[in-house]
Amino acid sequence: MIQNLLFDLGGVIIDLDRNRCVEAFTRLGLKDANSFFGEYSQQGAFAKLEAGQITVDQFHNELRKLLPDGATDAEIDYAFEQFLLDIPEHRLIALQELRQKYGVYLLSNTNPIHWNSIISRQFTKMGLELDGYFDGVVTSFEAKCCKPSAEIFQYTIDQFKIKPEETLFLDDSLKNLHASEPFGFHTLHVTEDFTKLLPKQFIK
């Protein structure tokens, strides 16, 4: 019996545009910008920031070494934020409805630049805070580890005090889903809007 829903964020709740981010960094002067951004994980300073291995200031300084002289923190952040689009309001409404029947949790590979800007604005745009949608949140930069590591799944179980065998994990990455299965999580590969994929008993 499923008691909990564990959601990925990017590509599941919030829409992404990887190419828009690559183009923004290319315009800023980052050589081979495409190589830094994978479909489900990042490379270089981007990966370090996501894993909580460096601070935002250290990230800016590492990026500046790869950019033309004069690139500002704001310009770097703006280019990085182009990775994220928005959260359609019907998904936010669905999360509220799901909380009426299930424990709803978030497990995200993300970074403080995204988290404290676009992500924060998207979740608060309907007048609620994060706790209006989730019973608990784990971010990679705070946990200091990223999916698909076993460490972050164990961290999530310990933080939320949930039983994996009672939890459905929704992610757009098969690698992440497979990594969760040894813990006993049920999984759902999100290949389209999650409100269309969840069985009717989950969403009114």
Please give the positions annotated as active site. 8
Beta-carbon contacts of residue 47 (< 8 Å; ≥ 6 apart): 41, 146
* SS3 of residue 81 by DSSP: helix
**Helical H runs in 4-149?**
18-28, 44-50, 56-64, 73-81, 89-98, 112-114, 120-124, 140-143
Token duo for residue 34 = 């495409």
Task: Note whether 9 and 176 are within 8 A (CB).
Answer: no
13 membership: H or E segment, kind and range: none
Using alpha carbons, select from 8, 13, 3 the residue that is nearest to residue 164: 3
